[in-house]
């Protein structure tokens, strides 16, 4: 009887691990698809002088289209977050792809501000840091819930500080924000991976919700990577 119980437990654990691995494979697949779309869109947009002039006026001020391109991704995140339970999987996927394109358009400015070599180096550094923290978050036995709460509060803090610095334009504050941004999104990567591992192993996660959960997980990690990349670029990037 004991042998049967042990065997049953091992089968159950195996199935849970298999489900978690499948879930994570889908999460990272969608994340890489989104990053590919963003990178291609960003490069093509940056290669078009017409697109640049549609975002900025002759005086260097952002046009209405420029503001739309910058703010639209934020609006989409809120929509996806608020409507995730009511949206179909197809709608969620479509919005995620649209979001990836919009982010590519809004990130095209980095090709005008930084050298290509600097962008490539920063991307590789970000990939290394992200990978290490993702592995740490997946395998650590430490509960990162409390750290996640602190990091989210800190994230709100740097968002507010960024808004203030938009008007004050303090180089010192910008440097501090960039350092804190790297630390926060490094920690959030591990936190989000652990949270997604728990979701993937959850027996209460309904099968029809798996795709939407994978898209939402991909969006979370995508945002961690992009923000980590941008903060590292602001710290160490060489401007053209």
pLDDT for residue 138: 92
Question: Of 18-22, 120-124, 156-160, 207-211, which gets the smallest average pLDDT?
Answer: 207-211
C-alpha–C-alpha distance, residues 141 and 137, integer Å: 9
More confident residue, 214 or 201: 214
Segments making up each domain of the chain, as ranges: 2-236
C-alpha–C-alpha distance, residues 150 and 119, integer Å: 30
pLDDT for residue 10: 61
pLDDT band at 104, cuts 50/70/90? very high
Mean pLDDT of the chain: 86
Assess whether pLDDT exceeds 70 at residue 215: yes
pLDDT tens for 58-83 read 777 888 888 888 888 888 888 888 88
The mean per-residue pLDDT over the stretch 45-67 comes to 84
pLDDT for residue 6: 47
Closest CA to 155 of 236, 102, 227, 213: 227
pLDDT band at 16, cuts 50/70/90? low
Question: What letter does residue 131 receive in the DSSP assignment?
Answer: H
Assess whether pLDDT exceeds 90 at residue 239: no
pLDDT tens for 151-191 read 989 999 998 998 888 888 888 999 999 999 999 999 999 99
Assess whether pLDDT exceeds 80 at residue 8: no
Largest distance between two CA atoms of the chain: 80
Instruction: Write the CA distances from 1 to 4, 8, 9, 10, 13, integer angstroms.
Output: 5, 11, 12, 14, 18
| Length, in residues, of the chain | 240
Closest CA to 148 of 133, 131, 163: 133
More confident residue, 15 or 46: 46
- Residue pair 190/133 in contact (Cβ under 8 Å)? The answer is yes
C-alpha–C-alpha distance, residues 180 and 184, integer Å: 6
């Amino acid at each position: 009887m004991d042998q049967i119980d042990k065997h049953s437990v091992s089968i159950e654990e195996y199935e849970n691990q298999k489900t978690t691995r499948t879930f994570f494979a889908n999460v990272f697949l969608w994340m890489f698809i989104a990053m590919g779309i963003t990178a291609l869109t960003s490069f093509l947009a940056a290669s078009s002088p017409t697109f640049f002039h549609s975002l900025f006026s002759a005086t260097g001020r952002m046009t209405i289209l420029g503001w739309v391109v910058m703010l639209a991704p934020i609006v989409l995140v809120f929509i996806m977050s608020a409507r995730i339970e009511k949206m179909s999987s197809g709608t969620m996927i479509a919005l995620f792809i649209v979001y990836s394109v919009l982010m590519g358009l809004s990130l095209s400015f980095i090709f005008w501000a930084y050298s290509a070599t600097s962008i490539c180096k920063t991307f590789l550094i970000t990939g290394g840091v992200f990978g290490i923290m993702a592995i740490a978050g997946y395998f650590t036995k430490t509960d990162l819930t409390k750290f996640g709460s602190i990091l989210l509060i800190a994230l709100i803090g740097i968002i507010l500080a960024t808004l203030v610095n938009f008007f004050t334009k303090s180089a010192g504050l910008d440097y501090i924000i960039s350092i804190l941004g790297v630390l926060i999104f490094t920690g959030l990567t591990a936190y989000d991976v652990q949270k997604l591992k728990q979701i993937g192993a959850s027996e209460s996660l309904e099968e029809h919700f798996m795709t939407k959960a994978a898209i939402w997980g991909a969006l979370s990690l995508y945002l961690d990577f992009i923000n980590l990349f941008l903060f590292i670029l602001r710290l160490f990037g060489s401007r053209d």
